[in-house]
Structure 1
């Protein structure tokens, strides 16, 4: 819309139409009212304040931004002066030398630390080894089997060879009488073990003879349990002349079934005349589940020298198998001793191994007991049982 313009006469005419305005104040009163404002000095800001505030603001911003900026840069993108680079290089070299000096320990120190780590799975342990089981195979150990004192059961054990007897027959170092066991019934047999082919050949003397079903059963079980730790799948029997072996009422036999073809649970063997105790396998009369076998471990056996491995106050409230792992929840009262708990754990591990499990998880066992095992972790089943250190 085009704006309208007025001439000077028209403006005068318009102004004349405004109402008349009069101020009735006197000149003196009007001057007195505005004089204080005329005399009031304007407050001036010191000339140094504004630059100082600006500088402080810049420093504050830099203090906030720079740390974030430097931390976001990769370390290899930062380059300082030549002096800084040289200083960093010298520091790195010194650090490397210090680390090398730290890692260059004496062999004895390294071996000592390794032994401590290997033999102490739990940091709270007082034991250095399990009294009833061995986890690893070693060329310095040898499997043995002796009958119980009354000839009712077989007792497998593992002899740890002394250093000066590694290439010698150590059977003379085995002390059945001191350990509450009977004489070795298979000492005259020769065992040829082929671990690559998982088979063993047992050679009997030509004049070998045995009478009675009890002795026949003990000899058969002794052979099977002596070969059990070596993962043998086939056991062949023959005499020195190559003939089949005659074993009492078994008649002529050329092979024996391996232990895995039967089910066993473990109990505790001890003789009154000996302080040594052993885990012993008890053959079941029928096929059992793992839960049934664990419950059988609480039962008293007919043999006077065999006691239950699981105390009466213990209940396996939950037993679950998942693959090769067995998980059990243990309800219990107070343990009579550390050894009572250890015997139970080792007996359960050995039983689980016979049922094809590789590890066992124990839940709900109190940790006040100084167990050799770390009960917070799965425990592998043993390879050998009843270790006996001849050096002791």
Structure 2
């Protein structure tokens, strides 16, 4: 402390020894000059500092901001990229999954469709079997149904065309016989008009006869008409065990004379196809055989056409077989198993043979040596019962 005090004292003494200086310049003016000089010297320095500091500062700030922002941006970018990639991957995964599922579903759906198509094809085949191959017979009825029979003549009134109608068993059969004309479509079918239109039938099953009231204007003018008259009544009623027709009054049957009643007796017949034209329905027509004609000969007759009457064969000409009589059973053995194939022609043949065998008194037919065990609705591995009716007609 003493050294410092001595120095201070010494400085004061030196200052006091300095000469006094006087300046005549006005203090205010001097102040302004000094201020002006100070301003001129200070401003550039300040501006230079600004010019230098601001860019440096800005650069530093930018760098700092970049240092802060870039990682964040990079993180965000990476996040977005990852998110996008993740989303893309997820979408791809989902797409792949969906495609896999859709593929599976499509595969499953395709399989289902194929199965359905196969099933539909199978069902279609069954349907075609049911609708594409026409049956001309009725084999069975349920407990509540019975069959009544009708008959028409072909357009030239040469042969009889039998008909079968399934009706309720609880109803009086006579009711349906008396309305028979309303169920027929003669013009559409290409056949003659129903001979007994307007007639009234009353069944007497206990006495196996039918009472017939004919219209007042009914008449028979030729032997062919008389033969058709008897044949139609026989076809209509003998299947139901009716063997006599009794008329309300005598009937003039032309060459046969006047009759009050007629015996109805079935005879041997064969069945061939009748069709007036291609746009008309196909029927089985009854072709009468002489009593001495055996069934083998009858089958041979079924191979012949009668084009002038629009009657055609029901057994193909190239089909040959041998027969064996076993009481109520007729065995038919095909000579060549390749001949009997599953088609309309063979089904028609089988049904025509069954109906012909029935007229000859057989109850069953066994077909052997066929290429197909099943033809149409028929199982050829076992005997087939003869039908109950032929040329079925649905009652609306």
TM value normalised by structure 2: 0.59
Give the equivalent residue in structure 1 for 2:317: 312
Give the equivalent residue in structure 1 for 2:245: 236
| Paired residues of 2:245 and 2:264 also in contact (CA < 8 A) | no
CA positional deviation for 1:126: 3.3
Structure 2 runs not aligned, ≥5 long: 1-125
| Paired residues of 1:300 and 1:307 also in contact (CA < 8 A) | yes
Give the equivalent residue in structure 1 for 2:273: 268
Give the equivalent residue in structure 1 for 2:257: 251
| Structure 2 CA distance for aligned equivalents of residues 335 and 245 of structure 1 | 49
| Structure 2 CA distance for aligned equivalents of residues 320 and 249 of structure 1 | 42
CA positional deviation for 1:214: 1.6
| Structure 2 CA distance for aligned equivalents of residues 257 and 159 of structure 1 | 24
Give the equivalent residue in structure 2 for 1:155: 161
1:1-392 equivalence runs, <5 A: 126-127=129-130, 131-137=135-141, 139=145, 141-160=147-166, 169=179, 171-232=181-242, 234-239=243-248, 243-260=249-266, 262-272=267-277, 274-301=279-306, 303-316=308-321, 318-332=322-336, 333-334=338-339, 338-367=343-372, 370-391=375-396
CA positional deviation for 1:331: 2.6
CA positional deviation for 1:125: 9.8
Give the equivalent residue in structure 2 for 1:82: none
| Paired residues of 1:237 and 1:253 also in contact (CA < 8 A) | no
CA positional deviation for 1:140: 6.1
CA positional deviation for 1:272: 0.5
> Residues 338, 155 of structure 1: CA spacing in aligned structure 2 closer, same or farther, 3 A cutoff?
same
> Residues 277, 189 of structure 1: CA spacing in aligned structure 2 closer, same or farther, 3 A cutoff?
same
Q: Relative to structure 2, which stretch is displaced further, 322-331 or 298-307?
A: 298-307
| Paired residues of 1:204 and 1:237 also in contact (CA < 8 A) | no
Structure 1 runs not aligned, ≥5 long: 1-122
What is the RMSD computed on CA atoms of the aligned residues?
3.0
TM value normalised by structure 1: 0.60
User: Of Structure 1 and Structure 2, which has the larger fraction of its residues in helix?
Assistant: 2
| Structure 1 CA distance for aligned equivalents of residues 333 and 347 of structure 2 | 16
Larger of the two Rg values belongs to structure? 2
> Residues 160, 266 of structure 1: CA spacing in aligned structure 2 closer, same or farther, 3 A cutoff?
same
| Paired residues of 2:145 and 2:166 also in contact (CA < 8 A) | no
| Structure 2 CA distance for aligned equivalents of residues 336 and 229 of structure 1 | 31
